[in-house]
């Protein structure tokens, strides 16, 4: 039985592992992959100590720091359940393995929230995407709609106005992202912003239209 099992190896999980190792806890870091969401982030401008750093580069630095300590790291097999036992917890993975620990930290990060509108699921991968960094270059020269009004939507907008023919930013609320991001995109000639508009449907036959 480990003293601590950490589920998730993004920034939070890896930081927790380093703190645990410094306290000499027998720790297991369990995750499908190292790096979490920043792996898919091209540029990070709000991490103290770096005026600009790419997400994968920053996560590589996290990984190097984790490797300085005797932390057992298991990747390629994500957790699917966690249950209580006498004196601790049991974690079961996708491959059917089980691990036991006296304590557990769940640092599994976040996933994109679907709109749950008609057409979204059917057109996923055919014009509907949740990662501007990953898939944005596929839409170069096209008209693109970005749904949302927070930092993620504004960062995606900043990426896409550089390569798309025109970008429509559609937000259910007034823009809620950081003012510095709003200022960065709002003057773009190829950007139209619709606030307090609800997305009702994503249309298209074989591809988003």
Note the pLDDT of residue 134.
Answer: 75
Q: What is the dihedral of CA 5, 8, 10, 12, to 10 degrees?
A: -50
Q: Is the pLDDT of residue 69 over 90?
A: yes
Helical H segments across 67-187, by residue range: 132-135, 151-160, 179-185
Q: Which of 26, 77, 135, 158 is catalytic?
A: 135
The arithmetic mean of pLDDT across residues 157-166, rounded, is 97
| Cross-strand partners of 5 | 28, 104
Note the pLDDT of residue 44.
Answer: 80
Q: What is the pLDDT of residues 97-156, one digit of tens each?
A: 999 999 999 999 877 789 999 999 999 889 998 888 878 888 999 999 999 999 999 999
Higher pLDDT, 156 or 37: 156
How would residue 41 be classed by pLDDT, with cut points 50, 70 and 90?
Answer: confident
How would residue 201 be classed by pLDDT, with cut points 50, 70 and 90?
Answer: very high
How would residue 27 be classed by pLDDT, with cut points 50, 70 and 90?
Answer: very high
Q: Is the pLDDT of residue 175 over 90?
A: yes
Note the pLDDT of residue 42.
Answer: 66
Note the pLDDT of residue 147.
Answer: 97
Active site residue 165: no
pTM over 0.75: no
Q: Which of 26, 77, 86, 131 is catalytic?
A: 131
Question: In terms of DSSP bridges, do strands 2-7 and 72-75 run parallel, antiparallel, or are they unpaired?
Answer: unpaired
Active site residue 134: yes
DSSP 8-class letter at 2: E
Active site residue 159: no
The arithmetic mean of pLDDT across residues 88-103, rounded, is 98
How would residue 45 be classed by pLDDT, with cut points 50, 70 and 90?
Answer: confident
How would residue 202 be classed by pLDDT, with cut points 50, 70 and 90?
Answer: very high
Q: Which of 26, 77, 86, 134 is catalytic?
A: 134
| Burial environment of residue 70 by CB neighbours within 10 A (0 to 12, 13 to 18, 19 or more) | exposed
* Chain mean pLDDT for the chain: 94
Note the pLDDT of residue 133.
Answer: 80
The arithmetic mean of pLDDT across residues 41-62, rounded, is 87
The answer to whether 152 touches 173, Cβ cutoff 8 Å, is no
């Amino acid at each position: 039985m480990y003293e601590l099992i950490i589920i998730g190896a993004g920034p939070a999980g890896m930081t927790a592992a380093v703190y645990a190792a410094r306290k000499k806890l027998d720790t297991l870091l369990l995750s499908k992959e190292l790096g979490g969401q920043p792996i898919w982030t091209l540029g990070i401008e709000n991490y103290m100590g770096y005026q600009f750093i790419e997400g994968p580069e920053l996560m590589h630095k996290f990984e190097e720091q984790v490797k300085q300590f005797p932390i057992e790291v298991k990747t390629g097999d994500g957790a699917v359940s966690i249950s209580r036992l006498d004196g601790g917890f049991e974690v079961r993975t996708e491959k059917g393995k089980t691990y036991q620990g006296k304590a557990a930290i769940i640092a599994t990060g976040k996933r994109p929230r679907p709109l749950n509108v008609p057409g979204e699921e059917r057109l996923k991968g055919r014009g509907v995407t949740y990662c501007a960094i990953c898939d944005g270059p596929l839409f170069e020269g096209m008209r693109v709609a970005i749904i949302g009004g927070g930092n993620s939507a504004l960062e995606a907008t900043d990426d896409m106005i550089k390569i798309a023919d025109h970008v429509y930013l559609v937000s259910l609320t007034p823009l809620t992202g950081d003012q510095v991001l709003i200022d960065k995109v709002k003057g773009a000639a190829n950007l139209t912003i619709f606030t307090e508009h609800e997305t009702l449907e994503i249309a298209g036959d074989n591809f988003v239209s």
